[in-house]
């Protein structure tokens, strides 16, 4: 008995719920599938499948066995793919994760070009605003926005700076007046991002201009972990917000928002955030990972790499 063939066939039978349907998927005779399953059960000394005239289903032992062999077969497929992916041409599945707002504005519009340039790569894009465990979630590359991670188990590549602008709608400024100085923000409705999950009533925005550094406590009635929610609130005239340039440039250029304090570099209390890629050291020589990083560099800015 070909054990590897038998294990893959068992997965097909379990998924299809019958021998005939599994055989059709595999392009073999139903009798061949039946004999292979009988031989597998005989070798293990236990029943893996319950057979009825209408359906074939897993026994309790079969369910536990399938759960274990699925992991083994996935690891084997990944090992095979890693050998293929070490060549010059990018090939295989590439699983990436990216924050939702950044994906919509910066990544999604370019995915068709990436797939056209690398026809042997299949993309699996996980859009999520939390930091995924790359090993646990089998992520090849995570695109992140924040302070460069100090995780010793990751390689990080800076893709771009992440400058932020204070913006407001014309309606809001007509109603509340344009703040003439950063200190005047204390009297304005400041819509704030919940950095690091912090929902404190007060937040500090830091204004830097040459040797001048000014820290302003800002308050407001709306705080959220969603950049896009804050953008919609600003557009609706609910207040001012400190948002990344890649999110608000289109609105500024279209005249829907006004940028304030353009002669200052403004950062929130969390400090200088950047856009960067993170990946596990065992992906360092992957052709498809290298291809994605080159692709991102060409679209979002220069890069530096360091293992941390």
Q: pLDDT by residue (tens digit) across 1-58?
A: 788 898 889 888 988 888 988 898 888 899 999 999 999 999 999 998 998 888 888 9
pLDDT of residue 303: 43
pLDDT of residue 278: 93
CATH number of 3-73: 1.10.10.10
**164-268 fold:** D-Maltodextrin-Binding Protein; domain 2 (3.40.190)
Find all residues with CB under 8 Å of 43, minimum gap 6, and list them. 1
pLDDT of residue 236: 97
Q: Closest by alpha carbon to 27, among 42, 46, 8, 45? A: 8
What angle, rounded to 10 degrees, do the helices at 227-235 and 245-253 form?
A: 20
Q: Is the predicted pLDDT of residue 306 greater than 90, yes or no?
A: no
**Residue 151, CA distances (Å) to 112, 148, 154, 254 in order:** 32, 9, 6, 40
Min mean pLDDT across 195-204, 211-220, 293-302 is at: 195-204
pLDDT of residue 176: 95
Q: Is the predicted pLDDT of residue 81 greater than 70, yes or no?
A: no
Q: Closest by alpha carbon to 203, among 212, 214, 215? A: 215
pLDDT of residue 175: 95
pLDDT of residue 201: 60
Min mean pLDDT across 43-52, 197-206, 292-301 is at: 197-206
Mean pLDDT calculated for residue range 75-103: 77
In 3-state terms, what secondary structure has residue 72? Answer: helix
Min mean pLDDT across 145-154, 232-241, 275-284 is at: 145-154
Q: Indicate the pLDDT class of residue 114, thresholds 50, 70 and 90.
A: very high
Q: Is the predicted pLDDT of residue 184 greater than 50, yes or no?
A: yes
Q: Is the predicted pLDDT of residue 273 greater than 50, yes or no?
A: yes
C-alpha to C-alpha distance for 268 and 216, rounded to whole angstroms: 10
Q: Is the predicted pLDDT of residue 199 greater than 70, yes or no?
A: no
Write down the mean pLDDT value for the chain.
Answer: 87
Q: Taking the chain, what is the end-to-end CA distance rounded to the nearest angstrom?
A: 48
Q: In the chain, where are the structural domains located? A: 3-73, 92-162+273-307, 164-268
What percentage of the chain carries pLDDT values higher than 70?
A: 90
pLDDT of residue 55: 86
Q: Indicate the pLDDT class of residue 305, thresholds 50, 70 and 90.
A: very low
Q: Comparing 303 with 76, which gets the higher pLDDT?
A: 76
Q: Is the predicted pLDDT of residue 235 greater than 90, yes or no?
A: yes
C-alpha to C-alpha distance for 259 and 223, rounded to whole angstroms: 20
Q: Is the predicted pLDDT of residue 245 greater than 80, yes or no?
A: yes
pLDDT of residue 198: 54
CATH of the structural domain 92-162+273-307, one choice from 3.50.50.60, 3.40.50.2000, 3.40.190.10, 3.40.350.10: 3.40.190.10
Tell me if domain 92-162+273-307 and domain 164-268 are identical in fold: yes
Find all residues with CB under 8 Å of 184, minimum gap 6, and list them. none
pLDDT of residue 202: 72
Q: Closest by alpha carbon to 22, among 72, 70, 56, 69? A: 56
Burial string for 145-164 (b: 16+ CB within 10 Å, else e) reads: bbebbeeeebbbbbbbebeb
């Amino acid at each position: 008995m070909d054990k590897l063939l038998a294990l893959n066939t068992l997965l097909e039978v379990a998924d299809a719920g019958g021998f005939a349907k599994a055989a059709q998927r595999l392009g073999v005779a139903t009798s061949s599938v039946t004999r292979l399953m009988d031989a597998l059960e005989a070798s293990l000394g236990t029943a893996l499948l319950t057979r009825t005239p209408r359906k074939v289903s897993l026994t309790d032992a079969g369910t536990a066995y399938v759960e274990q062999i699925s992991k083994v077969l996935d690891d084997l497929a990944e090992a095979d793919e890693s050998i293929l992916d070490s060549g010059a041409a990018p090939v295989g599945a590439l699983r990436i994760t990216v924050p939702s707002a950044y994906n919509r504005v910066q990544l999604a519009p370019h995915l068709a070009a990436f797939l056209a340039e690398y026809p042997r790569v299949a993309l699996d894009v996980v859009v999520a605003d939390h930091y995924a465990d790359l090993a646990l979630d089998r992520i090849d590359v995570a695109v992140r926005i924040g302070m460069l991670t100090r995780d010793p188990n990751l390689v990080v590549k800076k893709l771009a700076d992440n400058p932020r602008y204070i913006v407001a709608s014309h309606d809001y400024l007509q109603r509340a007046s344009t703040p003439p100085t950063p200190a005047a923000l204390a009297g304005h409705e400041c819509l704030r991002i919940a950095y690091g999950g912090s929902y404190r009533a007060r937040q500090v925005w830091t204004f830097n201009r040459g040797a001048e550094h000014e820290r302003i406590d800002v308050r407001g009635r709306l705080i959220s972990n969603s950049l896009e929610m804050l953008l919609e609130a600003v557009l609706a005239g609910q207040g001012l917000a400190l948002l990344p340039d890649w999110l608000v440039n289109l609105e500024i250029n279209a005249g829907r928002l006004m940028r304030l304090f353009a002669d200052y570099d403004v950062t929130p209390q969390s400090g200088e955030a950047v856009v960067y890629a993170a990946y596990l050291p065992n992906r360092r020589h992957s052709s498809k990972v290298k291809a994605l990083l080159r692709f991102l560099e060409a679209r979002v800015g220069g890069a530096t790499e360091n293992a941390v």
